[in-house]
Amino acid sequence: MVKKLKDFLIQLGCVYTIVSVTGAIANVIGGTQTNNFNVFLMFATCAIATFVLNLHNMFDSVSPLVMIILQYLIACVLCAIMIFVISIIYEPISLRGVFEYYRSFTIPYIILAGYYYYSVFSETKKQDILIKEIQENKQKEF
Amino acid sequence: MKLNLYEDKNNIDEHVDIYFSNMRPVIRRIVDTVNSDRPVLSGRPADEDLDDGEEIILSPEEIYYLDYVDRKLFAYTQNGVYRLMNTLSSCEEMLWNYGFIRVSKSNLINIYKIKLLKPDMNMKVFAAFDNGERICINRSYKKSFNEYLQRMRRMG
């Protein structure tokens, strides 16, 4: 349990660093600024994403496509809870704000899911070639 | 691999010398054969109508895959299905040098018998065999499967 928590924190640290540095670069290029609230929101979103992606072991019995959809739905529910809490303790978030938030969350998710989809096909093709090569090597040896 | 055979009717000290660059599976298999450690699996036909009580000797080369169902281990070959008395983990250890790798909690497949490796639209990866059967390669075993293939290629 402690090891899992340690691994989770390391992954979260890496994910947050990548996301915040990318955000900082985008701010520099676009000439925009961020505020403390956005930094916290970004961190909470990274924590949810890392947590949800860590659940992949629970979905071993289902296909990767179903796993991706389930993970997305879980992430959506957790984000909705987070937005609800923020609305209560900080300030109410408009419907437009909620939509923008989900959009900025969904687009990278779809891109990464697409990349995963491609990588499964590409990796399998490479493995198939490797198997043929191993089979040919065995035939040559005898 | 070069093979030299020397026949001497007066030889009283029969022996085998093996010159190799690295201890790869093919060398290990030859060593096993010389030491009479070559894994042999014995099983009885899974179909009770075909079971006459006699055990059938199965060579690793003829097995497509092993399937562990309801605490019973079955070996699938071109000629039929046989029930083995071994455990899946003992077979995994025994058949490592013979191209067998674990791809799920209940399956051990022979990579030399794979006809095609292909993912379906759900992104599940399946290994298809000559006999038309398909076995799913579980995501949890994907990494070890890939490492095994890389290793077999390097050692082959």
Q: How many structural domains does chain B have?
A: 1
In a domain, A138, yes or no: no
Q: Is A15's pLDDT higher than 70?
A: yes
Return the structure tokens found at B141.
């075993």
If you count them, how many residues does chain B have?
A: 156
Residue B145: how many other CB atoms lie within 10 Å: 21
Q: How many structural domains does chain A have?
A: 1
One-letter amino acid of A11: Q
What CA–CA distance (Å, rounded) separates A46 from A19?
8
In a domain, A89, yes or no: yes
Each of the 156 residues of chain B gets a pLDDT tens digit; together they read 788 888 888 888 888 888 888 877 778 778 877 776 777 788 888 887 777 777 888 888 889 999 999 999 999 998 889 999 889 999 999 898 889 999 999 999 999 999 999 888 888 899 999 888 899 999 889 999 999 999 888 876
Q: What is the pLDDT of residue B156?
A: 64
One-letter amino acid of A129: I
Sort strands B125-129 and B114-119 into parallel, antiparallel or unpaired: antiparallel
What CA–CA distance (Å, rounded) separates B45 from B53?
9
Residue pointed to by tokens 């959009």: A103
If you count them, how many residues does chain A have?
A: 142
C-alpha gyration radius of chain B: 18
- Higher per-residue pLDDT: A58 or A16: A16
- Alpha-carbon distance B49 to nearest alpha carbon in chain A (angstroms): 34
Instruction: Say if the Cβ atoms of A63 and B152 lie within 8 Å.
Output: no
- Alpha-carbon distance A121 to nearest alpha carbon in chain B (angstroms): 6
What CA–CA distance (Å, rounded) separates A77 from A82?
9
In a domain, B5, yes or no: no
In a domain, A134, yes or no: no
**Predicted ipTM?**
0.76
Within 8 A by CB and 6+ apart from B133, the residues are: B64, B65, B76
Residue A65 near chain B (CB below 8 Å): yes
Of B156, B58, B79, nearest to A142 by C-alpha is B156
pLDDT band at A79 (very low <50, low <70, confident <90, very high): very high
In a domain, A41, yes or no: yes
Within 8 A by CB and 6+ apart from A135, the residues are: B111, B112, B114
In a domain, B1, yes or no: no
Domain range for B77 is: 39-155
Residue A122 near chain B (CB below 8 Å): no
Nearest to B114 among A131, A133, A138 (CB): A131
Q: What is the pLDDT of residue A141?
A: 66
In a domain, B95, yes or no: yes
Nearest to A134 among B122, B123, B153 (CB): B153
In a domain, B32, yes or no: no
Q: Which letter does DSSP use for residue A93 in this model? A: P
CATH at residue B52: 2.40.50.1020
Beta strands, E only, chain B: 41-45, 56-58, 63-69, 72-77, 81-84, 100-104, 107-110, 114-119, 125-129, 134-137
Domain range for A91 is: 2-110
Within 8 A by CB and 6+ apart from B153, the residues are: A130, A133, A134, A137
In a domain, A122, yes or no: no
Return the structure tokens found at A114.
């697409």
Using CA coordinates, name the residue in chain A closest to B112: A135
Instruction: Say if the Cβ atoms of B140 and A57 lie within 8 Å.
Output: yes
Chain A hits for B138, Cβ within 8 Å? 60
Phi, psi of A104, rounded to the nearest 5 degrees: -70, -20
In a domain, A73, yes or no: yes
What CA–CA distance (Å, rounded) separates B90 from A52?
36
Residue A91 near chain B (CB below 8 Å): no
In a domain, A59, yes or no: yes
Q: Is A47's pLDDT higher than 80?
A: yes
Chain B hits for A124, Cβ within 8 Å? 117-119, 125
Condensed to tens digits (0 to 9), the pLDDT of residues A106-128 reads 998 899 888 988 898 899 999 99
Of A113, A107, A111, A106, nearest to A66 by C-alpha is A113
Contact criterion met (CB below 8 Å) for B108 and B95: yes
HSE, side-chain direction, 13 A CA sphere, residue B68: 17
Q: Write out residues 85-144 of B within 8 Å (CB-CB) of A.
A: 99, 111-112, 114, 116-125, 138-140
Phi, psi of B6, rounded to the nearest 5 degrees: -120, 120
